[in-house]
Every structure is written in structure tokens, then in C-alpha cells.
Amino acid sequence: MDTGSPHEAGPDGPQGTIEAAGGEPVWIALPPGLLRMRRLLLVVWLGLIALAAGLLPGLLAGPAWAAFALPPLALMAWGWVMIERNWRSWRYAERDDDLLISRGVLWREETVVPYGRMQLVEVTSGPVERHFGLASVQLHTAAAATDATIPGLDPAEAERLRDRLTELGEARSAGL
Amino acid sequence: MTAHGATETSEAAAEVSERRLHPVTPLRRAWAPVAVLIGWAVHDPDGAQRHLTRLTTTTLLIGLAVLVPAAALYGFCSWWFTHFAVTGTELRIRTGLVFRRTAHIRLERIQAIDITQPLLARVAGVAKLKLDVIGTDKKDELAFLGADEARTLRAELLARAAGFAPETAHEVGEAPSRQLLRVPPGVLALSLVLTGATWVSVAAALVVPPVLWLFTHSLWTVLAVALPLLGAAGASSVGRFVAEYDWTVGESPDGLRIDHGLLDRAHETVPPGRVQTVRIVEPLLWRRRGWVRVELDVAGSSNSVLVPVAPREIAEDVVARVLPGVSVPGPAALSPAPRSARWCVPLWWRGYGLAVTDTVFAARSGLLRRSLALVPHAKVQSVRMTQGPWERARGVADVCVDTGANKTVRARLREAGEARELLAAQAERSRTGRRDARPDRWMA
């Protein structure tokens, strides 16, 4: 069985690698950067909304109306937990011939993409992601429905994955 | 031209001879400005009438004298500047008067070739040649060619795509075809009568406008609703009959030949090994007669009917030709959804079934209108397992198989453990299935 990457299981990843017995794939979890970024975005946006929802009625109609700030705050607390659950659920594994991606808490999805089917591999990184030092890897096959994206990777890991997938894809390439 | 690329030999470069489309083409192109005018007049009738009454006969004549030659010149130029050439590996289309554009279509990527003859083109003896290649635009069609020229060009393209040497590709000619099936007009008409969708659209077109008139008494509202409804009713009954009239499926070394149409004739050729998915559809009222409809998905093609109506055994025989080595699993071979799934999709859960053979992944869905989708293992692009919260509570999951024609075949409501095994096994199968898939150039 093919191993993941040797430099996985960072000190800050409690579930860095989940290794099950008996020829199971080596699952690799996402680094914590994505969690930090999503939580920060959540706090910033919902914080602004809460401030607006609290201040405006509070000043215009009386202090009791400032309670409008509570729903966004509750949403923020809920989102804080949910984002972690969702982040924890993301994991991927490189096997000899295919890439596995597993994700989702309530709606679970597990995708298998054979390397031979890859048309191209993309590494993308938006401005916010770049600020947090993150990049995502996206695999395209001839089927548009194939949604094989791994978000929130370390750029170095993303590039390693891209190079490895491209190499394997060329070695095993097959037509349509 | 890119023909003088460094790698290409002078012999090959000399062989590339550019051709033009049929001289009738400018006439078709010349219609464009006139059509724009008519479209504008229809769009804004009041304004058009106002402008027309203001025009005198002289200005009208002068206008026509300018417009018609201009349109003719445009048509002539667009014809003059459109060239095409067939090389050993590509079909090149060079076009554009102001904005130059060259399309290089790789022959071994051809998914299907259509020749269509609209009614007027049939009168003029010309035809349109359309290539379905993944990643090309709809623009990349050759309209119009002489009918015979189109046929020989198709034969030549297919021969080259099949891997014949360029020198012999001319001589190979049109491969002989053996007729597999022909749908009699009576059967086609009866099958449309027995289709629920036809009756629903006709009933809607007959019932909705009078009811609307009763309630609103507004002519415009009724017209705005009635016209699309009538159009839909016509398309689903008469339109389908006209399009699917004299449906013939033939087999040739070049692939599957599909010919159909009453007014507009279409000849489609699907080279071997290009079919991604086949669906066998069985509407409720056809079941007593044992009729089925067969649809197919080819990457890059919009045409999707293989057999509009045929007895089951004949249809299965045709399917076996399209997907070599595949036998359609019978109803007994399909394993049904587990009983625990009955609260996920009440009643309809009985419609779901799955069979995985050595060659295909077959999933059935639908209770009244049964549809069985077959995907050869070699065509699977990726496999997914999805499970919602409600499904997890019942211990079931869905397995989806994505194919290159942008179609996803879902095997719904499988027992969770089975689905997990299926996911692993399907990935393995589609990998080994691809190893012994046919090459892109099937004759080479």
C-alpha cells in the first residue's frame, strides 16, 4: 500500500493521520489553517452583523431592542462548533491507483477518482487563502459531476500533491 | 496555416489541400440580415408599422437595393473566407473575415459525426456535417456541403479516425452497413399515443387556455400561456413523430449508423467505444406490449435517442452492439433496495434496483416509468458514495457513478455496508476494465 506523505502528522494535528489496520488507506486530515481561517471569517462577519443589529435598534428605539444582536451571536457560537465538525470530517488518501476524498458530517460523501481519469489538476489560492497560507487542489475529470477538491492545504503540500497526481495520471492515463 | 510545423514532412504538408463549402452556402448566409429585420418587426409590430407607413416606395426600393447586395456580399465573403482541410490527424476549419479563427479538431477524439439535411437543404441537395468532439464549440460544423461530398467526407474522416493510412483513407470509402432495426411508422405512432407525457401536454394545451379566459378575459394573457403550451403539445406529439419517423439503426465497421426524420433527415454515426451510458426506458403503458425506448449518452453530443421504440429483445440486441460484450441484466438479476429503505422514499423505493456484472454497472429507478441505466466499467470517471442524515438513520447509502458524458448514474438506497464494498469494488473494476478497453483508433 502506498503511504501518504512522510511529513504529515504535524504536532498541532491531533488527528493528523488516522491509520487503520489491514491494508486500509492512510487517511490524511486537513491542516488546521482552514479551520482558523473559516472561524475568523465567521467571527468577523457575524460580529459586524451583530454589532449593526444591536447598535441601531438599541440607539434608536431603546436599550431593550439591542437584543437583536443575540441571534447573530448564537449563530456565531453554533457556526464555531459546526465549522470544526466539518473541518474534522475532511480527509483524503492517496492510494496506488486512486485518490480518495471523504467529507461531510450530516451529508457524507466519499469520492474515488482513479489517477488514469484525471484530465488536469489545479492548485488555486484566493487572496484570503493566500493571507492564511492556504491553497486548494482540484482534480478535473471528463465528468463535470466529479467534485474532487481538497481545500485548505499547505501550499507546499498542495504543490507536492499536484506534481504527484500529474505524474501518476500520466503513468496511468486512459482515454474517455 | 500551421502545416509547415517543423516536425511535419514536406510530403504531408503537400497533401493538405484546402477546400471550400458548397456554393449554395452564401445564399443561406445572405438571409441573416433579412431575418434580423423580420425578427425586429415581429418583436415590435407597432414600431415597425409606424416606420413602414413613413417610408415611400422609392426609399423602400433604394433600401432594398442597398440591403440585398450588402447581404449577398456578406454571405459571399463569409463563404470565401471559410476553408477546411483534412490532415492525417486533424480536421482544420479556417474561418472569419475580420476575426480570424482556426479550429483544429483531432480525429481520434471524434465521438460522433452527424449529417443533417433540413428540408430546404434537401431541396437544394446539400447537407450539414457536424462533428461531436469533446471540447469543441457548436460553431465547428461544416454547413453546407454537397450531399455526396458530405457523405464521402464523413467516410474519409471516419477512416482516418479509425487509423487507416492517409493514402488509403480515400479508397476505403463508405463502410458497408447492416441494418439492425427499423421502426415502422405505425408502431411509432402507437407508442406516442401510449406515452403519458404526450397526453399531459395535449390536455394542458386544451384545458388551460379556456380556463384562463374564464377567469381573466384578457386575450394577451391567454395567448401568452396558450402558445407555449400548444408548442409543447405539438413538439411532444407531432414533432416527435416527424423527428423519429423511419428510424433506422445500422451497424458498420465505422460504428453505429442512426438515420431518422420525415422532413429533416439526420444521419448519425457513433464510432465504436464512444458510448458512455445507455438507458433503457419502459413507460407504464408500453409494458404490456414489451416495448422499450433506448437512450444513449455520448460525450460532446446532444443527440440522445438510440431506439425510439422497439420490442425488448431487439432493443437488447442493439444495446449489445453498442456496448460489445454487454448483456442487459434482466429484472430477476437486479437486487432490490433493502426493506429498511422504505421510509426514505416511501412506495418508490421498490423501483430501485442494482446489478453489477463483469462489464456494466446497471441501476434501475422509477416505479411507473422504469429506467435502467447501464455504464460500462471502462467508462467510469469517478465513483462517489453519499449518505444523508435520514439515510444514515435507516442504514442505507447511495452510490453514484460519473461518466464522461456529464451524466451521473445513481444506485439509490443500498445497504450501507454493501455500498461501502461497492465503492471499493467499483473503483477496482473500472480500473481493470479500462486496461482492456479498445484504442481510440479502433482499426489501427
pLDDT digits (tens, 9 = 90+) for A117-131: 888 888 999 898 899
Task: Say whether residue A20 is in contact with chain B using an 8 A CB cutoff.
Answer: no
**Residue B167 pLDDT:** 63
User: Closest chain B residue to A175 measured between Cα atoms?
Assistant: B440
Distance, in Å, from the CA atom of A157 to the CA atom of A4, rounded to the nearest integer, reads 11
Closest of B3, B7, B12, B20 to residue B167, by C-alpha: B12
Question: From the candidates A110, A113, A115, A118, which should be mutated to test the interface with B, based on the most B CB atoms within 10 A?
Answer: A110
Interchain pair A112, B406: CB under 8 A: no
Q: What is the CA B216 to chain-centroid distance, rounded?
A: 41
Cβ atoms of B398 and B416 within 8 Å: the answer is: no
Task: Say whether residue B404 is in contact with chain A using an 8 A CB cutoff.
Answer: yes
Band (A12; pLDDT cuts 50, 70, 90): very low
- Count of pairs with CB atoms under 8 A, one residue in A, one in B: 83
Mean of pLDDT values over A58-69: 86
Specify the higher pLDDT residue, A9 or B200: B200
Which of A106, A108, A113 has the CB atom closest to B382's CB atom? A113
Cβ atoms of A108 and B387 within 8 Å: the answer is: yes
Band (A10; pLDDT cuts 50, 70, 90): very low
Interchain pair A107, B388: CB under 8 A: yes
Distance, in Å, from the CA atom of B386 to the CA atom of B401, rounded to the nearest integer, reads 11
Which residues of chain B does A175 touch, with a Cβ-Cβ cutoff of 8 Å? 437, 439-440
**Residue B10 pLDDT:** 40
Q: Is B345 a residue whose pLDDT tops 90?
A: no
Interchain pair A145, B402: CB under 8 A: yes
Interchain pair A111, B404: CB under 8 A: no
Q: What is the CA B34 to chain-centroid distance, rounded?
A: 30
**Residues whose CB falls within 8 Å of the CB of residue A168, separated by 6 or more in sequence, listed in order:** A115
Q: Is B173 a residue whose pLDDT tops 80?
A: no
**Residue B409 pLDDT:** 92
**Nearest chain A Cα distance for residue B380, angstroms:** 9
Cβ atoms of A65 and A55 within 8 Å: the answer is: no
Distance, in Å, from the CA atom of B321 to the CA atom of B444, rounded to the nearest integer, reads 20
Task: Say whether residue A24 is in contact with chain B using an 8 A CB cutoff.
Answer: no
Which of A106, A107, A110 has the CB atom closest to B423's CB atom? A110
Which of B381, B408, B434 has the CB atom closest to A141's CB atom? B381
Interchain pair A106, B406: CB under 8 A: no
**Residue A167 pLDDT:** 87
Looking at domain B270-436, does it have CATH number 2.30.29.30? yes
Which residues of chain B does A176 touch, with a Cβ-Cβ cutoff of 8 Å? 109, 111, 134, 274, 276, 299, 379, 404
Interchain pair B385, A110: CB under 8 A: yes
Task: Say whether residue B427 is in contact with chain A using an 8 A CB cutoff.
Answer: yes
Question: Poorest-confidence range of B16-30, B285-299, B337-351, B405-419?
Answer: B16-30
Q: Is B282 a residue whose pLDDT tops 90?
A: yes
Enumerate the β-bridge partners of residue B372: B280, B364
Q: Is B4 a residue whose pLDDT tops 50?
A: no
User: Helices B219-234 and B196-216, interaxial angle, to 10°?
Assistant: 170
| % pLDDT > 70, chain B | 86
Which of B382, B385, B434 has the CB atom closest to A143's CB atom? B382
Task: Say whether residue A60 is in contact with chain B using an 8 A CB cutoff.
Answer: no
Interchain pair A142, B381: CB under 8 A: yes
Q: Is A173 a residue whose pLDDT tops 80?
A: no
Task: Say whether residue A114 is in contact with chain B using an 8 A CB cutoff.
Answer: yes
CATH 2.30.29.30, chain B: domain bounds: 270-436
Cα–Cα distances (Å) from B426 to A156, B378, B416, B420, B422, in that order, read: 32, 10, 15, 10, 6
**Residue B441 pLDDT:** 64
Band (B31; pLDDT cuts 50, 70, 90): low
Distance, in Å, from the CA atom of B142 to the CA atom of B150, rounded to the nearest integer, reads 9
Interchain pair B134, A112: CB under 8 A: no
Interchain pair B427, A114: CB under 8 A: yes
DSSP letters along B104-128, please? EEEGGGEEEEEEEE-HHHHHHTEEE
Mean of pLDDT values over B343-363: 90
Consecutive H or E run containing B65 = helix B57-80
**Residue B39 pLDDT:** 72
**Residues whose CB falls within 8 Å of the CB of residue A113, separated by 6 or more in sequence, listed in order:** A98, A99, A101, A139, A141, A146, A148, B381, B382
Specify the higher pLDDT residue, B265 or B272: B265
**Residues whose CB falls within 8 Å of the CB of residue B324, separated by 6 or more in sequence, listed in order:** B272
Enumerate the β-bridge partners of residue A27: A18
pLDDT, one tens digit per residue, over B397-422 is: 999 999 888 889 999 999 999 999 99
Distance, in Å, from the CA atom of B220 to the CA atom of B214, rounded to the nearest integer, reads 13
Chain mean pLDDT for chain B? 83
Which residues of chain A does B111 touch, with a Cβ-Cβ cutoff of 8 Å? 176
Interchain pair B434, A116: CB under 8 A: yes
Report for B70-74, B404-408, B436-440: range of highest mean pLDDT = B404-408
Q: Is A7 a residue whose pLDDT tops 80?
A: no
